[in-house]
Structure 1
Amino acid sequence: MPLLQFNLVKDAWTPADVQEILDTAYDVTLSIFHAPQGDRYQTVSYFTPENLIMKDTGLGFERSNKRILLNIRTRPRTKDEKVAFYQQLFEQLHARFNLSAHDLMVNMVENSDADWSFDGGKAQFLTGDL
């Protein structure tokens, strides 16, 4: 049940492109994290180029307006799962959009089952409903 929050530059991607980005990330989530079908939670926020600041952390490169900042909230994942997720997501986005390596940044924040309520103010993981 990862929650994927995409931050994009407004008008840099077509609506069809955005849908393909979301579908691609969902497929990678299923593949790498073994999430069940239908376990899909994604949001997209748009920013002006000036309001989506993604510097290079001193690595010496520049990013284009096609930059994607992806925040993921998820259960704890192994180092291998994280590395595989980052790599597979980039490879697929690069193949589909020729996305530059510099234009994808991913931040993963871990949480636990107790941090989720899916409806009705219930903690379904804690009550055994899930």
Structure 2
Amino acid sequence: MPLVRITLSSDRPAEQRPQIAAGVHRALVDAVGIPEKDRFQIVQALPAEQMFFDHEYLGVDRRDVVCVEITLRRGRPEETKRALYRRIAEEAGKVGVRSEDVLVVLTENGSADWSAGRGEAQLLDLEQQMS
């Protein structure tokens, strides 16, 4: 059950925002194997003057960053994460976002750290049922 927050410049066309979000979801389905209906995303457009990203850090020519923050349960191998980064950049490219402008950050946690509603710990309950 990943939670995705996409922050981008309000200068980006409004119609591009849901396309970027859909591409990130496709990448998660394809690279990580999450279920198709496991989609929880927040897209936030900020004025460009409120976004501060170094334009050359680690030799990447950034111009108009799309920041993708994904919180998900821990346990994926590094190669899966690398595949996810590539897929997100590919999907973003399909809607006109340069791969250099795609910044992805993963934050991992455990099943006990999620409630999908009703004040319950559904992922923890599922995990306990399976063991």
TM-score class, shorter: 0.7 to 0.9
**Aligned positions of 1:79-98 closer than 5 A:** 79-97=78-96
Give the Cα–Cα distance (whole angstroms) in 2 for the partners of residues 128 and 2 of structure 1.
16
Deviation at 1:127, TM superposition (A): 2.7
Give the Cα–Cα distance (whole angstroms) in 2 for the partners of residues 94 and 84 of structure 1.
15
Residue in structure 2 matching 1:106, options 104, 107, 118: 104
Give the Cα–Cα distance (whole angstroms) in 2 for the partners of residues 56 and 84 of structure 1.
24
Number of residue equivalences: 127
TM-score, scaled to structure 2: 0.86
- Please list every run of 5 or more consecutive structure 1 residues that lacks an aligned counterpart in the other structure: none
Residue 33 of structure 1 is matched in structure 2 by 32
Residue 5 of structure 1 is matched in structure 2 by 5
SS in 2 for 1:110: strand
Residue 24 of structure 1 is matched in structure 2 by 23
Amino acid across the alignment from 2:49: E
TM-score, scaled to structure 1: 0.87
Give the Cα–Cα distance (whole angstroms) in 2 for the partners of residues 61 and 32 of structure 1.
23
- Please list every run of 5 or more consecutive structure 2 residues that lacks an aligned counterpart in the other structure: none
SS in 2 for 1:39: coil
Give the Cα–Cα distance (whole angstroms) in 1 for the partners of residues 90 and 80 of structure 2.
15
Give the Cα–Cα distance (whole angstroms) in 1 for the partners of residues 52 and 38 of structure 2.
30
Give the Cα–Cα distance (whole angstroms) in 2 for the partners of residues 58 and 88 of structure 1.
22
